[in-house]
Amino acid sequence: MHNELCESLGIEFPIFAFTHCRDVAAAVSRAGGMGVLGALAFSPEQLEIELSWIDEHVDGKPYGVDVVMPVKSLDRDAGLHDAKDLAEQLRAMISPDHWDYVGKILADHGIPDEAEEEPDDDSPLGRGVLGWTEATGTPLIDIALGHPIKLLASALGPPPAEAIDQAHAQGVTVAALVGRVEQAVRDVQQGVDVVIAQGYEAGGHTGDVGTMVLVPDVVDAIAPTPVLAAGGIGTGRQMAAAMALGAAGVWTGSIWLTVAESDMTPVAMEKLLAARSSDTVRSRAMTGKPARQLRTDWTEAWEAPESPGTLPMPLQFILHSHAMRRAARVGNTDLVGMPVGQIVSRMDKVRTAKQVIYDLVEEYLEVTERMHRRVSEG
């Protein structure tokens, strides 16, 4: 299990944990895996605080940061390169029909949709624009590279060329998530060191090819570049399967949502612990790009015949965050979902992050030994 990739990154087990929660990231790294903090929902100032906290709580163990750098997004197409007035310019692109439809969804749930009040936080983040625009994502990379990170990962596209060069100059390994073989080939050509092949089962933005098919295809296409398998991995058996497909390690996301260190609200935690695999859906309703998440009245509404259709990233999330703020205000939970993968059915009890790592490792060793025995006993 301890392989070349572990050696180069200074970790004990090739288990990578994507999380938005600094406590989880630090706990995974301390337990011998690699905690990777998702930077998407932080302002640069807040990311600086989170990473300084991790630096103090990780006992010198390696950790990483993940950003989202869409190859295709509306802000790029429209030439919006500046964070100033970004939220306003994006809002101006949303048609009245879409606002009306959000109003109708809210009304159907008895949620008042008064005129938009002034948000407490007038930054792009406060206005529903996360770090997935060029203007909001690039500063997050600068902050991340100001900390002693070992890994810089990027979703929906590789980091910009300058960021890859800077990361390499600082000895930081660069990884990128892909859902197709062609994306893996492109990313390696652009200087990415580790490819994360993420299958259909996964929580969050995901493609339409299953992990079982995607991983060996990516492994073969970009050998000898190391590949991490992602999507549907939550047990040692699944980890063993991923390694058998040729992966150098596993990249996991969903299973960290229900660990003891997670900052999930009690309502979200309850929903996750109760959910089965078939309670997730791959939908554009949250961000505008297909993302696996819990099926909710919100995802259903955007599938309904009267739906005007989802908007492209990053506009759809502006509608989503508008609606979720209003739902939260009146305590409505029917519309509230979250990204999570099909592995959610296995997430039925709360364990510490350290226990999750140990359970993965223990079952992995058990199952690989059992398979060896079967082969040698003929």
In which order are the strands placed within the sheet that holds 291-294? Answer: 204-205, 291-294, 280-283
DSSP H helices, the chain, are 4-9, 22-30, 44-57, 74-77, 86-91, 96-108, 134-144, 161-169, 181-189, 211-222, 236-244, 266-274, 297-303, 315-329, 353-377
User: Of 155 and 323, which has the nearer Cβ to ligand FMN?
Assistant: 155
User: Of 38 and 111, which has the nearer Cβ to ligand FMN?
Assistant: 38
**Whether the Cβ atoms of residue 339 and residue 204 lie closer than 8 Å to each other:** yes
Binds ligand FMN (CB under 6 A): choice among 17, 181, 339, 360: 339
Rounded distance, CA 281 to CA 92, Å?
29
Binds ligand FMN (CB under 6 A): choice among 27, 37, 58, 68: 68
User: Of 41 and 161, which has the nearer Cβ to ligand FMN?
Assistant: 41
Query: Is residue 75 close enough to count as binding ligand FMN by CB under 6 A?
Result: no
With residues binned 3-state (H G I as helix, E B as strand, rest as coil), the percentages for the chain, rounded to 5, are 45, 15, 40
User: Of 113 and 363, which has the nearer Cβ to ligand FMN?
Assistant: 363
Query: Is residue 40 close enough to count as binding ligand FMN by CB under 6 A?
Result: yes
Query: Is residue 341 close enough to count as binding ligand FMN by CB under 6 A?
Result: yes
- From 107-115, 231-239, 280-288, 324-332, span contacting ligand FMN (CB under 6 A): 231-239
Please give the C-alpha separations between residue 209 and each of 78, 145, 251, 306, in angstroms, as whole numbers.
30, 32, 16, 29
Which of the residues 129 through 188 are near ligand FMN (CB under 6 A)? Answer: 155, 177
Residue of this chain nearest to ligand FMN (CB atom):
253
Binds ligand FMN (CB under 6 A): choice among 66, 187, 261, 279: 66
- From 107-115, 133-141, 225-233, 313-321, span contacting ligand FMN (CB under 6 A): 225-233
Reading the block at residue 76, the tokens are 């790029």
- From 108-116, 229-237, 262-270, 365-373, span contacting ligand FMN (CB under 6 A): 229-237
Residue 201, helix vs strand vs coil: coil
Rounded distance, CA 104 to CA 110, Å?
10
Query: Is residue 198 close enough to count as binding ligand FMN by CB under 6 A?
Result: yes
**Whether the Cβ atoms of residue 159 and residue 141 lie closer than 8 Å to each other:** yes
Which of the residues 232 through 291 are near ligand FMN (CB under 6 A)? Answer: 232-233, 251-254, 257
Reading the block at residue 266, the tokens are 């009690």
Return the residue matching tokens 């990204």. 339
- From 2-10, 237-245, 339-347, 361-369, span contacting ligand FMN (CB under 6 A): 339-347
User: Of 109 and 186, which has the nearer Cβ to ligand FMN?
Assistant: 186
User: Of 232 and 290, which has the nearer Cβ to ligand FMN?
Assistant: 232
**Whether the Cβ atoms of residue 98 and residue 308 lie closer than 8 Å to each other:** yes
Query: Is residue 203 close enough to count as binding ligand FMN by CB under 6 A?
Result: yes
Footprint of ligand FMN (CB under 6 A) = 18, 38, 40, 66, 68, 155, 177, 198, 201-204, 230-233, 251-254, 257, 338-341, 343
